[in-house]
Amino acid sequence: MAENEKKTGGWRTNKWIRAAIPALLLHCSIGTVYCWSIFSQEIADYIGFSKGATEWAFSFAIFFLGMSAAFLGNVVEKDIHKSSLIATICFAVGMAGTGFFIYYGGLHKGSVLALVGIYVSYGFIMGIGLGTGYLSPVKTLMLWFQDRKGLATGLAVAGFGAAKAIASPIMQAMLDNLGENGIWLMFLILAGVYFVMMFIGHLLLKKPEGWHEPAKKDKSQGIIATIKSKPIANYIGIWLMFYINITCGLALISQEKMIVKCLGLASFVGVISTVSAIFNAGGRLGFSAWADTMKDRNTIYKLIFVLSIVFTGAVLLSNGIKNGQGNTLLIVLVLSLIFVVNAGYGGGFSNVPTLLSDHYGMGSISAIHGITLSAWAFAGLSGNQMANWIVKRFGTPVDIEHVLADGTIEMVTVNPTGYQYVLYATGVLYVVALIICLVLVRPTEKALEAKKAKAASK
């Protein structure tokens, strides 16, 4: 009967049910961390703190995502059921705790306890859920889809990127319809919804029956020894280019809303944000699927950095952000930069686990991937802050009149010169990343063998 089930593609041996669907359930849940900008101002107003004070909750969430992935990678490696359950509980408890402390902050305006409670709940507890939830399905996907590893991981990571586009309108509708207490009620309701989604994913997630973890020759051989099996500069190069790509992406994405307003498109901010989220998700899936067709997966990073440099340079040379209002060509150019950076930002995430597996094998991929995600932790602290620091210290804020969709006029304070200076910083960093990509990250054995075979055939 088991043989017959296997032949007919029974659900117990179906790669979509055992890997792809649970990965999407997990990633579409935890990816809603990127919806923070939808409700951050409402939280600040409700608990009586500045938006700047509450923003640290998001930064902490990304930091602890990366750090929990780094430190719990071995747990994921040994038992995906334990790690996915940890992710489910931590994410749901963190979200519910955030709702509780927002409620408490509403009763006690300006309470430091409420603010710290939000930091701990959204930042630390949810952060652990994010890190373990992000890692848990990745290796399983690559094992089920060995011929199309990039497509498989891209599918899951695309779910993480698409979560914002899916959840943002739902969250906005809840805020609009739940009344004055909607902000904390929303968190409690969503905590329940996401717990159910993630728990189903946890129950379904399973490695292929025939997979056995490779036995280590030496029990003392750990993750560092695996990394050192190749020149250490190779891994440092991968970590650095991953870190730079995230830092540059976050720097631009954090200013995206204001850049769009500089172009005179204030009434289209929501639409453009959704489109950029689609490019983010599309880059995760498209770049990783494309990389499956390449002899050396590192080539995809070269393409991402070259495209980012070209479009950043074009906007800088044309002074597109400052001169874009009313100029259709410059508007298209600046929006193209936003979309290209979003796609490259997403593609950088989806290709990291497969690039690492090409270099270091599948044996310890969850642990190596987890350590590499520490780059995300530090980029989460440096990307936004770098952009904010530049915008505050360069250029002069100006007021621009915008006619909204309902005909009313809105005055918006923007700093076009400051946003241009952000591009100078990201442009330089993209060049550095490209150099690292070309010099430090070596071709894989597969790429070298293909090169030798091609030379021999001539």
Higher pLDDT, 170 or 161: 170
What pLDDT was estimated at residue 449? 67
Total number of domains constituting the chain:
2
Tell whether 29 and 120 lie within a shared domain.
yes
Q: Hey, which bits of 14-58 come out as E strands?
A: none
pLDDT digits (tens, 9 = 90+) for 198-216: 999 999 998 887 665 555 5
Residue 213 belongs to a domain: no
Tell whether 200 and 313 lie within a shared domain.
no
Phi, psi of 202 (to 5 degrees): -60, -40
Whether the CB-CB separation of 64 and 128 falls below 8 Å is answered with: yes
Among 158, 174, 204, the domain-final residue is 204
Return the DSSP state at 8: T
pTM recorded for the entire structure: 0.83
Residue 330 confidence (pLDDT) above 90? yes
Tell whether 102 and 232 lie within a shared domain.
no
- 411 strand-pairing partners: 401
Among 173, 204, 235, the domain-final residue is 204
Share of residues in the chain with pLDDT > 70 (%): 90
What pLDDT was estimated at residue 11? 60
| Domain of residue 408, residue span | 226-452
Share of residues in the chain with pLDDT > 90 (%): 48
Whether the CB-CB separation of 153 and 346 falls below 8 Å is answered with: no
Q: Hey, which bits of 370-454 come out as E strands?
A: 398-403, 409-414
Q: Which of 39, 191, 208, 212 is nearest to 129 (CA)?
A: 191
What pLDDT was estimated at residue 219? 45
Tell whether 191 and 267 lie within a shared domain.
no
Can you give the length of the chain in residues? 458
Residue 298 belongs to a domain: yes
Tell whether 24 and 146 lie within a shared domain.
yes
What pLDDT was estimated at residue 34? 84
* Domain CATH code at residue 366: 1.20.1250.20
What single letter denotes the amino acid at residue 218?
Answer: D
Residue 216 belongs to a domain: no
Residue 220 belongs to a domain: no
pLDDT digits (tens, 9 = 90+) for 263-308: 988 778 778 888 888 899 899 989 988 998 888 889 999 999 999 9
